[in-house]
């Protein structure tokens, strides 16, 4: 081997390498800034270069995030981040696929896709910036808004029971389930790295306050606390603990070893390869 055959060691990546240079148009104080920062730091730690990462989103303030990163991005239509992300992973299992969006995008119009993405257990990360409101369309209640949340648009509150995304993800079969907080960016970055590296569908619910329409969410920083769960493999125990939880515990809540798709990360050469990789039975 000649000396010219020796590849120079790849330079370590930094968070800056994942920044597109576009200035976010989020409101001052929006939690999504903390999520973007955590994601950039996590990707630098993970170590795959931006061109090997695909960021997919739907519509909403939070769904603007892919444009602020230097990764390949797809800003799709409302509620459809997960079907697009599944398609990307199906076509290119060698790429790192990350879907992002809000609670309106992911739990309301996209709710059915969320359930089935957990069930299919395709190897990707799904990060939901949950501000418990529709930010972009000016403050309508979402599926995670408290029943008595009073606003001009829903005086006295909707009176509808909010659902628990963590319990839903557990019931539907996600392989990795965690909760983070936008105000604790470093902890969130660590969770993101762990989720990316864990095989299967990794779901991280991020409490990310909307300062424009839910300024009282500023108080979430007093509510959050580290989890005492972090249950491995015992899904029933994780579900019971989740239902008894106050909804503000942060960290890894559950992970297991359910077989995931695709079965190999090798680039696919033919339709027969695709069919084999994504065969559901047998
Ligand atoms: C099919 C369709 N229905 C409704 C809308 C309007 N719309 C745009 S964003 C949004 C909700 C966004 O809320 P969320 O996903 O929680 O994101 P946030 O803005 O709070 O980050 C809605 C209802 C749309 N763009 N497309
Ligand atoms: S409206 Fe809310 S969610 Fe949207 S950018 Fe402003 S603070 Fe963030």
Residue 219 or residue 6, greater confidence: 219
Q: Which ligand has the minimum distance to the alpha carbon of residue 104?
A: 1
Determine contact, residues 183/31, Cβ cutoff 8 Å: yes
Of all protein residues, the one whose alpha carbon is nearest to atom 26 of ligand 1 is 78
**Domains of the chain and CATH, by start:** 28-259 (3.40.50.970)
- Residue 101, pLDDT > 60, answer yes
Question: Residue 4: pLDDT above 60?
Answer: no
For ligand 2, the distance from its centroid to the CA atom of residue 134, given in whole angstroms, is 9
The average pLDDT across 65-83 equals 97
Give me the pLDDT at residue 273, please.
Answer: 76
In the predicted model, is pLDDT for residue 16 greater than 70? yes
- Average pLDDT on 148-154 reads 93
Mutate to test the pocket of ligand 2, among 23, 25, 28, 32 (most ligand atoms within 8 A of CB): 32
Indicate whether residue 63 lines ligand 2 (CB < 6 A): no
Would you place residue 233 in the very low, low, confident or very high pLDDT band (cuts 50, 70, 90)?
A: very high
pLDDT, tens digit, for every residue of 179-226?
999 999 999 999 999 999 999 999 999 999 999 999 899 899 999 999
Mean pLDDT across the chain, nearest whole number? 93
Q: Is the CB of 202 under 6 A from ligand 2?
A: no
Q: What is the pTM of this model?
A: 0.93
pLDDT tens-digit readout, 156-182: 999 999 999 999 999 999 999 999 999
Mean pLDDT of 254-266: 87
Which residue's CA is minimally distant from atom 25 of ligand 1?
A: 78
Section 65-85 average pLDDT: 97
Q: Is the pLDDT of residue 8 over 80?
A: no
Q: Does the CB atom of residue 130 touch ligand 1 within 6 A?
A: no
Residue 237 has pLDDT above 80, yes or no: yes
> What pLDDT is stored for residue 10 in this prediction?
62
For the chain, give the percent of residues with pLDDT over 90.
86
Predicted pLDDT at 11: 78
Would the pLDDT of 28 be above 80? yes
pLDDT at 184: 98
C-alpha 107 to ligand 1 mean position (Å): 11
Q: Are 66 and 74 in contact (CB under 8 A)?
A: yes
* Ordered DSSP codes for the chain: --GGGSPPPPPPP-GGGGB-SPPP-PPTT-THHHHHHHHHHHHHHH---GGGEEEEE-SSSGGGGGGGBSSEEEE-STT-HHHHHHHHHHH-TTSEEEEEEEHIIIIIITHHHHHHHHHHTBSEEEEEEE-SSBTTTT-B--TTS-TT---SSSTT---PPPP-HHHHHHHHT-SEEEEEETT-HHHHHHHHHHHHHSSSEEEEEEE---TTT-GGGGGHHHH-EE-S--EES-HHHHHHHHHTS-S-EEEEEEE-----BSS--SPP-SHHHHHHHT----
**Is the CB of 62 inside a 6 Å radius of any atom of ligand 1?**
yes
Percent of the chain's residues with pLDDT above 70: 94
pLDDT of residue 272: 81
């Amino acid at each position: 081997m000649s000396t010219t055959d020796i590849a120079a060691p790849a330079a370590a990546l930094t968070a800056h390498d994942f920044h597109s240079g576009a200035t976010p148009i989020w409101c001052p104080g929006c939690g999504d800034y903390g999520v973007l920062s955590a994601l950039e730091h996590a990707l630098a730690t993970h170590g795959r270069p931006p061109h090997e990462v695909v960021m997919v989103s739907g519509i909403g303030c939070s769904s603007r995030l892919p444009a602020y990163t230097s990764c390949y991005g797809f800003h799709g239509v409302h509620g459809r981040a997960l079907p697009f992300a599944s398609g990307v992973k199906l076509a290119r299992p060698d790429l790192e696929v990350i879907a992002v969006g809000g609670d309106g995008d992911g739990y309301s119009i996209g709710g059915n896709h969320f359930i089935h993405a957990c069930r299919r257990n395709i190897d990707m990360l799904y990060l939901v910036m949950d501000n418990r409101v529709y930010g972009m369309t000016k403050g309508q209640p979402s599926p995670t808004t408290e029943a008595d949340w009073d606003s001009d648009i829903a005086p006295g509150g909707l009176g509808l029971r909010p659902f628990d995304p963590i319990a839903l993800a557990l019931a539907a079969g996600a392989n990795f389930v965690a909760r983070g907080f936008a105000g604790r960016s470093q902890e969130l970055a660590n969770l993101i790295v762990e989720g990316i590296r864990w095989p299967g569908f990794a779901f991280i619910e991020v409490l990310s306050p909307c300062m424009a329409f839910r300024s009282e969410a500023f108080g979430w920083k007093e509510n959050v606390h580290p989890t005492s769960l972090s249950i491995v493999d015992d899904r029933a125990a994780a579900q019971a603990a989740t239902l008894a939880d106050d909804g503000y515990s942060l960290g890894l809540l559950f992970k297991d070893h359910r077989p995931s798709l695709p079965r190999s990360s090798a680039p696919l050469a033919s339709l027969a390869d695709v069919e084999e990789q994504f065969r559901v039975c047998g």
